[in-house]
Amino acid sequence: MNFKSGIVFVLFLLPALFLPQAWTFRVLSTVEKDGKGLSGASIKLYQGAKLLSQSVSGQDGDFAVEMPPNGDYMIVVSYAECNTKKIQVSTFGVPPEVGDDRFRPSFEIGGVTMAKPLYSIDYSALNTPLVKIGYIPEDKKFDHDENHTEQMLKALGKIKDAEKALIQKQLSTCKSGDEALKKKECDLAKKLYEEAIALIPQQPFEVYPKEQLLKVQACFDKKDELLKKQTDELAAKAAAEKAAQQKAEADRLAKEKAEADKVSAEQAAKEKAEKDKQAAALAAASKAETERLAKEKAAADKLAIEQAEKEKAEKQILSEATATMAKAETERLAKEKA
């Protein structure tokens, strides 16, 4: 009896449960980026893999999405180069007596923040909807799943902390690069700025280290210029020292040569004087000998002349004596003959 009555009661309610409901559930929110409302963000509504509607956020980033009852939906918010955010909505479970013509349910989400993903950060948590919205029979209204929201807030907090740590590490690396650049440690500065770029190789984070790398190149150029200047100065100094050494050596050799030439000249003069003295002495001796010989010759010549004259006189005397004797003999003979 009671069993049959229960069946009758259920059969009586079936038409009311499956009557079409005219209400729609509205989700409202704002798309934000860098703390400001972002217009032009893509807002798509899916039921499973089927795209039901699509729109873009307004000038202030506001958007609203309407969903019919008795369905599971996914609101997908996206913007170029930013992480995609999802909102899960279920419009099941609204009793017919609640979902009448006067039922205008809505739920407002504080804001959906769009941001570019940072290199090396794990964003897999964003594959899960940020918020799960459904009808709460006890409260007779649509609300979010607080446990899920709390879990997602923790996950988002971890992502944010990881982003902050990465950004802080890059900033610290850039700061170390700035200190190295200030000290003219070009190689270290270059290494640090390249590490900073590798940490977050995307704009705007790579803009500053890339700009600093241009200064590093200028640092290298200036360092090379300074090194060249120092090298040139050292080369000039070495050349000057070498020239000074060569000059000193040349002066020393010239001095030694002058001294040697002086000694040589003095020696030559001394030898010449000695030779001249010897030549003079020899000439004097030769002259004396010549004069002696001449004198002896003159004396000999004089003696010879005198001897010749003497002999001549003697011969003359002898001749005259002989003639006289011959004449006397002749006269004697003639006398004797006579």
The candidate with the shortest Cα–Cα distance to 34, out of 112, 109, 114, is 114
The CATH class that applies to domain 2-144 reads mainly beta
How many other C-beta atoms are found inside a 10 Å radius of the C-beta of residue 231? Answer: 11
C-alpha R_g of the chain: 71
- pLDDT for 274-326, tens place per residue? 888 887 878 778 788 888 888 888 888 888 888 888 888 788 887 887 878 88
The candidate with the shortest Cα–Cα distance to 181, out of 171, 170, 192, 195, is 192
CA distance 171 to 259: 76
The candidate with the shortest Cα–Cα distance to 132, out of 157, 113, 115, 107, is 107
Q: What is the pLDDT of residue 10?
A: 29
Listed by start position, the domains of the chain span 2-144
Residue 58's Cβ-count burial label (10 Å; 0-12, 13-18, 19+) is middle
Three-state secondary structure of 115-179: CCCCCCCCCHHHHCCCEEEEEECCCCEEEECHHHHHHHHHHHHHHHHHHHHHHHHHHHHHHHHHH
> Which residue in this structure is represented by tokens 């802080």?
168
CA 52 to chain centre: 58
Residue 114's Cβ-count burial label (10 Å; 0-12, 13-18, 19+) is buried
CA distance 261 to 268: 10
Between the alpha carbon of residue 3 and those of residues 7, 10, 13, 296, the distances in Å are 6, 11, 16, 198
Q: pLDDT tens digits for the chain (338 residues)?
A: 332 333 222 223 334 444 567 799 999 999 999 999 999 999 999 999 999 999 999 999 999 999 999 999 999 999 999 999 999 999 999 998 887 878 899 999 988 999 999 989 999 999 999 999 999 999 899 999 999 999 999 999 999 999 999 999 999 999 999 999 999 999 999 999 999 999 999 888 889 999 999 999 998 888 888 888 888 899 899 889 998 989 988 888 888 888 888 888 888 888 888 888 887 878 778 788 888 888 888 888 888 888 888 888 788 887 887 878 888 888 888 888 88
Token pair for 206: 């790579």
The candidate with the shortest Cα–Cα distance to 67, out of 112, 28, 32, 95, is 28
CA distance 23 to 142: 13
CB 86 within 8 A of CB 132: no
Q: Checking DSSP bridges between strand 131-136 and strand 85-90, what pairing results, if any?
A: parallel
CA distance 121 to 16: 51
